[in-house]
Amino acid sequence: MVLRARRWLSELWEWLESMLGGGEPDESDLDVHVEVTLRAVVDAVVPETPELADEFGPEHVPGGLAVGMEEFLVTFVDDLFQFGFPHVGTRGNLPLTAPLVEVLDAAADALVAHGDNEAEPDVERAVELLGPGDPPARRVRRVAGTFASLARQDRLRALGALDEFELRVAPFGHGLFEFDAGLVGQLVVGFAEMIYYSEWAGYDDFSLPPSERTHPNDPAAVQSWRQTGYPGVADGYAALRGYLGREGSPLGAGDVWTTIDGGVAVVRESGSFRENDYDTIGYEEPYPE
């Protein structure tokens, strides 16, 4: 009851500020909604892991939010991810983050409606992800959607539920564009992971053309490189050294060049692969979410 009263007073004060020309950030509610939702995505896909500090060191604690990956996702999805529609210029970009977060909220609503969530939605979870300079908590409470209000594991379940959705949109008033909403989950999960473990965070300005970007190529300068022990880019890393294969495996053939990891052979010729070469009976995903 006390918390509800505080929220009501907070919303009242926000209204008074707007009436008096107060200093609310010059952002639309839609922008805040997008930011809050993508923060929730990053927190679920590349979370902080304080439990790893004692075993592996403090550099393994920070997650994607520590390097502002949610901001880069907006840039990546809106400016760099290309659909190739000729109606919107030579690059064919569409600003997709706003509809993307609406799809995430729809999946979260469906998850809750089916009773598949393990914890009750709570908008304070979105508030907990705020950082310095972010919009006020009261504003976040007002605009946060269901996805950002879910517990971390329930957010992953909502992403998995997207496979059950099919989307039909007509972005230009004619023609119909259909796709499996599971692509949204692949986009926010796959791209978030790929981006986090790439060299992106080391660039001074990623928005520059590739020929004008500078990168220190210093493992200490990139958070994910510090966490994985990646030594940085070096000549020869992309060179083909052979093909992996074990005895009886169809994936490699020819003379053995060397062995790694206790017996995995690196052979000089590629093998062949036939459908159903692998028996997957009884296999279970270790992380079904």
Digit-coded pLDDT (tens) for 140-176:
999 999 999 999 999 999 998 887 766 665 555 555 4
27 pLDDT tier (thresholds 50, 70, 90) = low
d(CA 39, CA 126): 8
Higher pLDDT, 272 or 147: 147
Other CB atoms within 10 A of residue 18 CB: 10
Mean pLDDT of the chain: 78
Report the pLDDT value the prediction gives residue 131, as an integer from 0 to 100.
Answer: 81
Report the pLDDT value the prediction gives residue 160, as an integer from 0 to 100.
Answer: 87
The rounded percent of the chain whose pLDDT value lies above 90 is 35
Report the pLDDT value the prediction gives residue 93, as an integer from 0 to 100.
Answer: 63
d(CA 247, CA 141): 58
Q: Read off the pLDDT of each residue in 29-53 and give the average, rounded to a whole number.
A: 92
d(CA 45, CA 37): 12
Prediction pTM value: 0.69
Question: At residue 236, does pLDDT exceed 60?
Answer: yes
Higher pLDDT, 273 or 70: 70
Assigned token pair, 272: 């062949």
Contact 107, 149 (CB under 8 A): no
Kindly list the distances between the CA atom of residue 188 and the CA atoms of 79, 169, 267, in Å, as whole numbers in the listed order: 15, 19, 37
Report the pLDDT value the prediction gives residue 12, as an integer from 0 to 100.
Answer: 41
Q: What is the largest CA-CA distance in the chain?
A: 80
Report the pLDDT value the prediction gives residue 163, as an integer from 0 to 100.
Answer: 77
Q: Read off the pLDDT of each residue in 65-81 and give the average, rounded to a whole number.
A: 83
List, edge to edge, every strand of the sheet that includes 252-260: 243-245, 264-270, 252-260
